Amino acid sequence: MTVAPSGAVYAPSCRSDAPNIASSALIALTEDGKRAWRLRLRPRTGCFAPAVAGDGTLVTTGGGHTYGISPTGKILWHTDVAGWTAPALGAGGTIYTIGGADRTLLVALDPAGKTLWEADQGAPVHAPPVVGRDGTLYLTVGHHDLRAVRPDGTTKWSRRAALGAMVAIGKSQKIIGVTRGGVVIAYDPWGGVRWRKRVPGAEGPVSIDSRGTIFVPSSGPDRIVALEPAAGHVLWRWRPAKAIDPQAGAPGEIAIGPDHMLFFTDEAQLWAIGPDSAAPVVELFAFRSGETTRFRKTAIRITASDNDGVTDMQLSEDPTFRRAIWQTFDGSTQFLLSAGAGEKTLFVRVRDRSGNVSAAASASITLVRRPPP
C-alpha cells in the first residue's frame, strides 16, 4: 500500500475467484481508515502498491498493464507496454517498471504513459526498481543480484547479492536489502557492503522513513523490527497482542505516512501503528569523583527514563556532539577528558528505541595538575 502526502491511503486488492482468473481493484482510504473510493481494474492489474506523482496522480501496475489514475479514482491513461512490478518514479515524473514477456526489460515511461526507452537486463527482474537521489536505478536481477542502472538505461555496476526482495534507499543513500536467509545488508552507492544484521524471519521488502529508520517485516513473533541506519542496531520490535499464525508469512510491505505512522497488512487485516514521539529524559548526570579530578579518565553516572526504553547515548565535550558516536546506554561508564588542566564540561544525550533523542544535559569538573614528586 501507499500513503500520500495528504494522508490518504491507497491499497491494492487482488482476489482469485477461480483458477487462473483474478479480479483486481485499487482502494482509497481516508486518514481514519474509511473507504473513499474503489476502482475496478483489469484482472491482475493493481496488485502492487501504487506510486504517487507530484501532481497527485496515482500510477499502478500489474499483469503487464500500467495505469495513471486521478486522486478521485478516474483513469487518466493506460498502456500495455509494461507493468510486471510496482512502479517507481524518477526526476520529472518518469515512471520505471518492468516489461517484456520474460520480464527482462527495464522500461521508462513519461508521465503520460508513453515509452521513453527500454533496457534489456539479460535476465528476469524479480522486484520493482528503486530510484536513488542521483537518479540511479537499483534492481534485483537474475538470481537476485544487485544492479545499478543509470537514468539512460545503461548499467553502472552489478554485484552478486542473493537478495530475496526489492531494495530500499536510505537517507544516507545506503541501499538496504534482505537475503533469502534473513540477513539485512546495507550497501554503499558503489555496491560495497557497509554492514550486515541477521533478523530472524526477515523477508523484506524493507521500508525507510525520512529519519533513516529501517523497518523490516518478519514472519517471526516480532512482526516488525526497526533498525538504525548507521550500523543496523535494533531500535525496537513490534508484535501484536494476539499471536499470529506462524504459517501466515511476513506482513506485506510497510507504508509510512507523513507523520511516521506505519501501515501494513497482516493476516488479511490492515494495521496502523502510531509513532512514539516522546523523547527520553536525562534525569541525572554527574561525575562520581565530585568537582575535581587528577585523572583524565573519569567515572560518570547517568540516569535516564523513557516510555519505550533508553537504548543509546552520546558523550562529548562539544555541545553540538560533532564526531560523537552513539554507543549502548550505560548508566555507569567512563569518559576520557581532553588534555590540559582546567574546567571541563561534558555533555550527554540519550536515544530511545524509536529514535527519539533527548535534550542535552551537562556536568562540569576541574582537571587539576598532579603535584610534582
**Dihedral (CA of 147, 121, 78, 151) sign:** positive
CATH architecture for segment(s) 161-275: 6 Propeller (2.120)
Confidence at residue 21, expressed as pLDDT on a 0 to 100 scale: 46
Q: What is the pLDDT of residue 223?
A: 85
3-state SS string for the chain: CEECCCCCEEEEEEEEEECCEEEEEEEEECCCCCEEEEEEECCCCCCCCCEECCCCCEEEEECCEEEEECCCCCEEEEECCECCCCCEECHHHCEEEEECCCCCEEEEECCCCCEEEEEECCCCECCCCEECCCCCEEEEECCCEEEEECCCCCEEEEECCCECCCCEECCCCCEEEEECCCEEEEECCCCCEEEEEECCCECCCCEECCCCCEEEEECCCCCEEEECCCCCCEEEEECCCCCCCHHHCCCCCCEECCCCCEEEEECCEEEEECCCCCCCEEEEEEECCCCEECCCEEEEEEEEECCCCEEEEEEECCCCCCCCCCEECCCEEEEECCCCCEEEEEEEEEEECCCCECCCEEEEEEECCCCCC
| pLDDT for 348 | 97
pLDDT at 18: 47
pLDDT in tens, the chain (373 residues): 788 888 888 988 776 554 554 567 889 998 777 899 999 887 655 578 899 999 999 998 877 789 999 999 999 999 987 778 889 999 999 999 998 888 899 999 999 999 999 999 999 997 889 999 899 999 989 877 899 999 999 999 998 887 876 788 887 788 988 888 889 999 999 899 999 999 988 877 888 988 788 999 888 888 888 888 888 888 778 877 676 665 655 667 788 887 778 888 776 677 888 777 778 999 999 999 888 999 999 999 999 988 777 889 999 999 999 999 999 999 999 999 999 999 999 999 999 877 789 999 999 999 997 655 5
Q: Are 63 and 42 in contact (CB under 8 A)?
A: yes
**Where are the domains positioned within the chain?**
161-275, 281-367
The pLDDT, as a whole number, for residue 286 is: 93
Q: Decide: 151 and 136 in contact? Cβ < 8 Å.
A: yes
- Which one is the CATH code of 281-367: 1.10.1520.10, 1.10.150.120, 2.60.40.10, 3.40.50.620? 2.60.40.10
